[in-house]
Structure 1
Amino acid sequence: MDVTATPDTQYRGLVAWLPAPARPYALLARFDRPIGWWLLFWPCAWGVLLAGGLERWPLLLWLLLGSIAMRGAGCVWNDFLDRDLDRQVARTATRPLASGAVSATRALLWLGALCIVGLIVLLQLRLQAQLVALASILPVAAYPLMKRITWWPQAWLGMVFSWGALVGWVEIGLPQWGVLAALYAGAICWVIGYDTIYALQDIEDDALVGVRSSARALGGRVRGGVAGFYLAAMVFWAAAFWLLREHWLALLALLPMALHFVWQIGTLRPADPADPLAKFRSNRFAGLLMALACLVAGNAGM
């Protein structure tokens, strides 16, 4: 194992202030790594804002809470299924289930508690949006298995992590489904791109234990592959904006996002252990840029 790998769980931020018995559970839900819930939340915000739901700003706060809880629940489920594999990878060997800090039974109880928070958020939505949100349960539950059966688990993650765009859009109720389809497709391409960058951290360990990933599938073409997915994301998003509002200013709103993608790809250093993680984390800012673009296109009177 690569002993220089950045550990996946660290006592930092708010987690360091928690009582010692609570820390392993916070780490299990990745509360020490807020990037995950931001990446889950941003597509929710895109769906709301592009549909013209700016006045529903309390909804965005509920969706953020739901993203925190359900990202945590997803991490617990992932670690429960992967606890044996995680013990064999340097970056994940310190995870609470892999290290034995939390038992499997207690992890499942914690999973239930997080799902209750998610249920509270679900009840704030109208019925149609509730049904869309519930439809994500099986794809989410199946995701940890994808790395065992396909070289492209990132594509499945893209479908799951972009689901919030469907929920946010349906909650607002704008009946322009072509716009939503293009927004969702672009979000999937974005997730595949950034999670391929993330997978670069584990490429050697994944090869040793037989875990598949898009980073391994692309090999030396990873920069070009990520560029292709980011380009596809921009094309889909431009189509969504144009279908919603046929005005060049709507497309201009996407320019900051495009420039951020150019920076990510142009400065990516796949062989540097620290750089892929930094580039991956920069997508929290990318999500904000896209949210602002959706705000312009969805709410400006053009």
Structure 2
Amino acid sequence: MQRDTLSPPDTEHRGFIGLLPANLRPFALLARFDRPIGWWLLFWPCFWGISLAGGAIREWPLILWMLLGAIAMRGAGCVYNDIVDRDLDRQVARTASRPLASGAVSTKAAWVWLGVLCLVGLVVLLQLNFNAQLLALESLLLVAAYPFMKRITWWPQLWLGLVFSW
């Protein structure tokens, strides 16, 4: 089986991504919708936290909000990372075919897509109580700093671990 030359070498184009219209696929890839492990790392602690608080049965709406928020905000983080790293990504074989680095998505379109994902995240944020909203907003500082950690440390994944642990 031959790999699609437009897809990154570390992605799968089958399944959900392959069902999308061709003009939407680069945006789905930009948000890493083809790699669910990132939003799993955000969603499952939310689910278990709600479950351990005794809400697994009665709090299904909140659980679904957490799922939507995990998918949207992980996607937003990936889009932001690719916007910041687009010039570096062009120079690395593994990342050169990413939608921004390859030119499949313009920087302006990526900013708009980031805004859409953040708006979805805002709708989810507004479903939470005030303390949870503050904690979520504080996490944005760690998220915003992550792409720059690659420039000042040899351990950017340690920083990413802090982001996901927040």
TM-score norm. by structure 1 comes to: 0.50
Q: Which portions of structure 1, spanning 4 or more consecutive aligned residues, are displaced by more than 4 angstroms?
A: none
Residue 98 (1) aligns with residue 101 (2)? yes
**In the alignment, residue 44 of structure 1 is paired with which amino acid?**
C
Give the aligned residue type for 2:121: G
Aligned mate of 1:35, from 9, 34, 37 = 37
Mapped pair 1:129 → 2:132: yes
**SS of the residue aligned with 2:23?**
helix
Partners of 2:155 and 2:45 in 1: CA distance: 21
For 1:17-96, what aligned pairs fall within 5 Å after superposition?
17-54=19-56, 55-96=58-99
What per-residue deviation string (whole Å, max 9, x for no partner) do you get for residues 104-155 of structure 1?
0110000000000001111111111111111111110111111211122222
Report how many residues are paired. Answer: 158
Alignment of 1:86-235 (within 5 A): 86-163=89-166
Whole-angstrom distance in 1 between the partners of 2:159 and 2:50: 23
Q: Aligned AA for 1:126?
A: N
Partner of 1:151, secondary structure, is coil
Stretches of structure 1 that go unaligned for 5 or more consecutive residues are 1-5, 164-302
Q: Distance in 1 between matches of 2:150 and 2:49?
A: 28
The residue number in structure 2 matching 1:217 is none
What 5-or-longer segments of structure 2 have no aligned partner? 1-7
CA positional deviation for 1:41: 1.3
Aligned residues of 1:83 and 1:97 also touching (Cα < 8 A): yes
Higher helix share: 1
Residue number in structure 1 paired with 2:18: 16
Query: How does the TM-score come out when normalised to structure 2?
Result: 0.88
Structure showing greater Rg:
1
